[in-house]
């Protein structure tokens, strides 16, 4: 593997690119997508998930601290937990009733999950953060992707707000980039996107409880 040499910080996502120069170019749709990065790769689905990429999510939260773990577990949920972050993406449909092509589920016993969720520092100015390693030469994601949730975020957000914030980070895992609270996504009927960062693009300060929507829009799937 090449030496990690460049970190690009975009909202709540850190892309660490292996090689000399960054490969990532941001698209200008709203919400935007990351270009020249290979799509998230899971395993082949079966039964009800046939045709979907199965995406394994592992929780690595450590010892509980005044209910932080249980709140994160409730927010992230599982594929069958209605209203949870994972279920939100799993049941999302576009205007043609098509799914995203991915099925997120909790898999605590796997050694090499696609995504690890852990408590930890998100960096200055961020409520949560996704750390995505990308190989410059191939554009392949180097797994696992890590989603870090600070204890202060989990304590201060309501469960609904935390669920929406985790949906936002899972959107990064799918290749979606940030938009901002003062940016209207004109292609979305509500003008609001789950990918709107919980801070003002002008002020640049995190407002972790002020996401404009808690729902995934059909146009985002």
pLDDT of residue 35: 66
Q: Which of 18-27, 146-155, 175-184 has the highest mean pLDDT?
A: 146-155
Contact criterion met (CB below 8 Å) for 144 and 30? no
Mean pLDDT of the chain: 76
Burial class (CB in 10 A: 0-12, 13-18, 19+), 105: middle
Which domains are assigned to the chain? Answer: 4-220 (3.40.390)
Higher-confidence residue of 17 and 53: namely: 53
The 3-state DSSP class for residue 118 equals: strand
Buried b (16+ CB within 10 A) or exposed e, 133-147: bbbbeebebebbbbb
pLDDT of residue 201: 44
pLDDT of residue 42: 84
Q: Is the peptide bond before 144 cis (omega within 30 degrees of 0)?
A: yes
DSSP 48: G
pTM tops 0.85, yes or no: no
């Amino acid at each position: 593997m090449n030496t990690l040499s460049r970190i690009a910080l975009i909202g709540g996502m850190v892309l660490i690119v292996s090689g000399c120069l960054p490969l990532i170019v941001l698209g200008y749709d709203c919400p935007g997508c990351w270009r020249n990065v290979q799509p998230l790769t899971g395993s082949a689905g079966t039964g009800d998930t046939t045709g979907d990429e199965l995406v394994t999510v592992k929780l690595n939260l450590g010892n509980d601290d005044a209910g932080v773990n249980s709140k994160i577990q409730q927010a992230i949920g599982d594929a069958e937990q209605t209203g949870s972050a994972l279920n939100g993406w799993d049941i999302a449909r576009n205007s043609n009733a098509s799914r995203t092509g991915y099925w997120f589920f909790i898999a605590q016993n796997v050694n090499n999950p696609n995504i690890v969720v852990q408590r930890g520092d998100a960096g200055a100015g961020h409520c949560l953060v996704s750390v995505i390693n990308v190989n410059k030469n191939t554009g392949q994601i180097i797994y696992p992707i890590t989603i870090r949730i600070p204890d202060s975020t989990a304590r201060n957000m309501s469960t609904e707000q935390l669920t929406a914030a985790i949906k936002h980070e899972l959107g990064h895992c799918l290749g979606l980039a940030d938009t901002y609270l003062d940016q209207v996504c004109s292609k979305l009927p509500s003008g609001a996107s789950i990918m709107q960062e919980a801070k003002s693009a002008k002020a640049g300060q995190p407002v972790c409880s002020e996401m404009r929507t808690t729902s995934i829009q059909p146009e985002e799937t």
